[in-house]
Structure 1
Amino acid sequence: MKDSYQTRLEKSKKAMEEAEYILLGGGAGLSAAAGITYSGKRFTDHFSEFIAKYRFKDLYTSSFYPFETEEEKWAYWAKHISLNRYEIDATKLYMDLFQLVKEKNYFVISTNVESQFEKGGFPSDKVFEIQGNYSYLQCEKGCHNKLYYNESLVKEMIDKTVECKIPSNLVPKCPICGGEMDVNLRKNQYFVQDEKWYESDELYKNFLQDSEGKQVVYMELGVGFNTPGIIRYPFERMTYHNERATLIRFNKDHPEGFKETQDKTIAFTEDIQGVITALMR
């Protein structure tokens, strides 16, 4: 961070131009920068009834609330899923990221679950959503590894929600064991990794293997410390072990990294959209 903003921009442009491979790692800060925020006006405008009833503070902590009934749980989750997955189109930031790297040999690993990379233009075989996706339901106990697309069900749940509850006949049940269903998000040991998940995992591993020792840029985009072992620490480690690697970190709160990789790291605390726009010029 000792370099000026302009110097960091120029270094980043040069690194990306010379890169043989670019690996993007997307975290919650990226979607927040794109406007998909979990608190503030966006939250209060859409969840006023739930805030009044349950005293919710934001969309993150409310997702851990222990609802007493499945009817209440799914009234909440239907709105949560719809707002973040179905009601929002591709955002400018994600579309710009695609334009920035589309001519390069790239891959994306993301802990985000709202499909913005694919909406922004990234092909599905170039994106690994390792933590799940709002679009799918799974057996709550993971009794089998099939996922179920939920868009029409979510819409019906919202249309028929009354006083923060859905009708009992809309509560989803596992077609195999008859038990409860859950959103396909990694939050416990029952998270379902379906066939597509394993295919994406293999594509990611192949990309890492192919790029090992090559001229690589690791773009770490809004990755915090909720799950640093998925993107942040591996990117640091791969940068350390590859003398030809550059780590470009976008993080307004935690730009600092390992001291061993400081000379190969370009950090931005500035607005991600602004930096990406500048890199595209």
Structure 2
Amino acid sequence: MNSYETRIGMAKKKMEEAEYILLGGGAGLSAAAGITYSGKRFTDHFGPFIEKYGFSDLYTSSFYPFETEEEKWAYWAKHITLNRYELGATKLYIDLFQLVKDKSYFVISTNVESQFVKAGFPSDKVFEIQGDYSYLQCEKGCHDTLYDNELWVKEMIANTTDCKIPSKLVPTCPVCGGEMDVNLRKNQYFVQDEKWAESDKLYKNFLQESEGKKVVYLELGVGFNTPGIIRYPFERMTYHNENATLIRLNREHPEGFEETEGRTIAFTEDMQQVVSAFMQ
């Protein structure tokens, strides 16, 4: 691997020359921005839940099989509030917007905290393919409408006692009367509404428009939980386009296709440091 300074220079040059930039945001991006799912941030906010259920982090706790809906929504109200409503735009996401705002760009992200939009990215240039913390859906996906949850969540938080909410605050599906869930892709019932379909169309249009052109695929903290959404497609598109460059920011998994090694610039350094250097 070339020196840090050499790689920064190469990456900056490629981004300056690029006709298109496609950003791919994964969990490592939000972690680098300070939206961590474990450690002090978790223990400071989830003490009662940790004591009652033995939770160790926000990721594994989101799969906990709560015995009642009252317990489930007490947890999820806290989870959503911390990661979606209490948190403003972080510096790393704001810097990314400043980096690409004058380019032809698009964003695909598996993150669900809406940080890209908060940081200034227009919503029609962001495809949050895995869902959004701010919406609820029918747990069984009986219809394709999503429901803004901010007021619900605030009321749940205000009325949580002993890690439970009152039964009257448990949301139910207005169509089938069944249980509700957060709009996150975790099973076959994930609801893809009209907005999701439009984002998917815009993303595919961007891919078609940029095909064969000078493209930078800026991959940010994408691991192997869902590699088929960003990581593998970015590598494949780089391989098939000799004018493309893959810039990968990933502390743990910088490796990629051997065939695209000459057109891949990888960084394992601190992501905020690297993005700040791109802007200088």
Q: Is TM > 0.5 for Structure 1 vs Structure 2? A: yes
Alignment of 1:183-262 (within 5 A): 183-262=182-261
1:186-232 deviations in Å (ceiling 9; x for gaps): 00000000000000000000000000000000000000000000000
What root-mean-square deviation, in Å, do the aligned CA atoms of Structure 1 and Structure 2 show?
0.3
Match of 1:168 in 2: 167
Query: Equivalent residue of 1:37, what SS?
Result: coil
- Read off the aligned partner of 1:178 and give its amino acid letter: G
Tell me, in whole angstroms, the C-alpha distance in 1 between the residues paired with 2:39 and 2:155: 27
1:141: Cα distance to partner? Answer: 0.2
1:249: Cα distance to partner? Answer: 0.1
1:29: Cα distance to partner? Answer: 0.2
Tell me, in whole angstroms, the C-alpha distance in 2 between the residues paired with 1:237 and 1:59: 32
Query: Equivalent residue of 1:169, what SS?
Result: helix
- Read off the aligned partner of 1:243 and give its amino acid letter: E
Match of 1:144 in 2: 143
1:171-197 deviations in Å (ceiling 9; x for gaps): 000000000000000000000000000
- Read off the aligned partner of 2:43 and give its amino acid letter: T
Query: Equivalent residue of 2:203, what SS?
Result: helix
Match of 2:5 in 1: 6
- Read off the aligned partner of 2:67 and give its amino acid letter: E
- The alignment's TM-score, normalised by the length of structure 2, stands at 1.00
Which runs of 5 or more structure 2 residues have no equivalent in the other structure?
A: none
Alignment of 1:117-132 (within 5 A): 117-132=116-131
Q: Is 1:58 paired with 2:57?
A: yes
1:158: Cα distance to partner? Answer: 0.5
- Read off the aligned partner of 2:126 and give its amino acid letter: V
- Read off the aligned partner of 2:37 and give its amino acid letter: Y
1:8: Cα distance to partner? Answer: 0.3
- Read off the aligned partner of 1:238 and give its amino acid letter: M
Tell me, in whole angstroms, the C-alpha distance in 2 between the residues paired with 1:170 and 1:260: 55
Q: Is 1:272 paired with 2:271?
A: yes
- The alignment's TM-score, normalised by the length of structure 1, stands at 0.99
Tell me, in whole angstroms, the C-alpha distance in 2 between the residues paired with 1:36 and 1:57: 16
1:273: Cα distance to partner? Answer: 0.4
Tell me, in whole angstroms, the C-alpha distance in 2 between the residues paired with 1:151 and 1:89: 15
Query: Equivalent residue of 1:179, what SS?
Result: coil
Query: Equivalent residue of 1:134, what SS?
Result: strand
Flag as ranges the 4+ runs of structure 1 deviating above 6 A.
none
1:86-130 deviations in Å (ceiling 9; x for gaps): 000000000000000000000000000000000000000000000
Match of 2:37 in 1: 38
1:114-173 deviations in Å (ceiling 9; x for gaps): 000000000000000000000000000000000000001101000000000000000000
Tell me, in whole angstroms, the C-alpha distance in 1 between the residues paired with 2:191 and 2:31: 26
Tell me, in whole angstroms, the C-alpha distance in 1 between the residues paired with 2:24 and 2:253: 15
Tell me, in whole angstroms, the C-alpha distance in 2 between the residues paired with 1:183 and 1:42: 22
Tell me, in whole angstroms, the C-alpha distance in 2 between the residues paired with 1:149 and 1:273: 31
- Read off the aligned partner of 1:223 and give its amino acid letter: V
